[in-house]
Amino acid sequence: MNLLFVADPLASFKIYKDTTFAMMREAQRRGHRVSACEQIDLGWRSGGLVTARVQDITLTGEPEAWFRVDGTREVALREFDAVVMRKDPPFDTEFFYATHLLGQAEREGAKVFNKPAALRDHPEKLALLEFPQFTSPTLVTRRPEAVRAFQAEHGDIILKPLDGMGGMGIFRVKADGLNLGSIIETLNRDGTQTIMVQRYVPEIVQGDKRILLINGVPAPFSLARIPQGGEVRGNLAAGGKGVAQTLTSRDRAIAEALGPTLAARGLLLVGLDVIGESLTEINVTSPTCFQEITDQTGFDVPAMFIDALEKLAA
């Protein structure tokens, strides 16, 4: 197959942990041809097809100069067997426009994963509200008074921006309400930005578990991101320690309940975040943790992903 990965700049990859790199490596190992581009390389001229300025690459196996550019060309996206959208958050205006270009490419015959419309329809913080049976109490609002009322009701709460990633902008406010006003002002920006508020789940000390769904099927292990020191955030980017764990019965129940629905919507790869028994996020833009799970357990997550991609792209 000819595969195109729409991603961040290749030079920025930390290949010892990067999931897109792991996908590329497994694809190349199977003999597939790998190309890459960034969002800025996408274009659509009136009367023509959606194209991208792509780099055809070979992975070298070296830790530093890990890829070689074999050529650069302008090509219609429909010429690839699969286009894998792996641009990291935030989901900003440019990401939104990119999904429209990718959606047009689909209409021209391209196969895009995750499906562009599904990316737009599943904002990562909001999507979990569709499944309240699995979540802790959650509020999404722009109104400061609503946040204060939620904190008065639940005491210990977590506040976060809707467009954050890697634990960015997450705050905890305990029952005493200390600094709540200042935190609301910081995140809410005088009522101009919507924020999410959730009841604090104390099981975070045991880890924020990332459960991977691949075409609706859960990988058998999660990665528990365990907060270190005085942190409330388990995110690896915030210094959390990643520990692979076998899925619990509750983990599997959540994954098996959501998996078929999300796969049917065109979401090939989803990262569910679960703390204790509560679903806290549904990540769809560029879920990670392939390498950490594989390295610690021996279960080959990249192979599971490429297996699914091959079937859907055939």
End-to-end CA distance of the chain: 9
Q: What is the mean pLDDT of residues 284-303?
A: 97
- Residue 101: band (very low, low, confident or very high) from pLDDT cuts 50, 70, 90: very high
Domains of the chain: 2-121 (3.40.50.20), 137-200 (3.30.1490.20), 204-313 (3.30.470.20)
| Partners of 5 in beta bridges | 36, 84
What is the band of 227 on the pLDDT scale with cuts at 50, 70, 90?
confident
Q: Are 85 and 40 in contact (CB under 8 A)?
A: no
What is the pLDDT, as a whole number, of residue 233? 64
DSSP 78-107: GGSSEEEE-PPSP--HHHHHHHHHHHHHHH
Q: Give the C-alpha separation, 212 to 220, whole Å.
A: 9
pLDDT digits (tens, 9 = 90+) for 189-225: 888 999 999 999 999 999 999 999 999 999 999 999 9
Active site residues: 125, 160, 210, 225, 233, 273, 281, 283
Residue 214 has which token pair? 């691949």
Across the chain, what does the average pLDDT equal? 94
State the average pLDDT over residues 10-20.
97
pLDDT band for position 287 (cuts 50, 70, 90): very high
pTM beyond 0.85: yes
Q: Are 86 and 286 in contact (CB under 8 A)?
A: yes
pLDDT (0 to 100) of residue 185: 93
In sequence order, the β-bridge partners of residue 2 are 33
CA quadruple 174, 179, 185, 186: dihedral sign: negative
- Give the model's pLDDT for residue 230: 64
Residue 54's contacts (CB-CB under 8 Å, 6 or more residues apart) are 4, 35, 36, 37, 41, 72, 73, 74, 75
Task: Give the pLDDT confidence score for residue 125 in this predicted structure.
Answer: 82
> pLDDT digits over 28-53, tens only?
999 999 999 999 999 999 999 999 99
pLDDT at position 91 is 83
pLDDT for res 7: 98
Q: What is the pLDDT of residue 168?
A: 80
Is the predicted pLDDT of residue 159 greater than 70, yes or no? yes
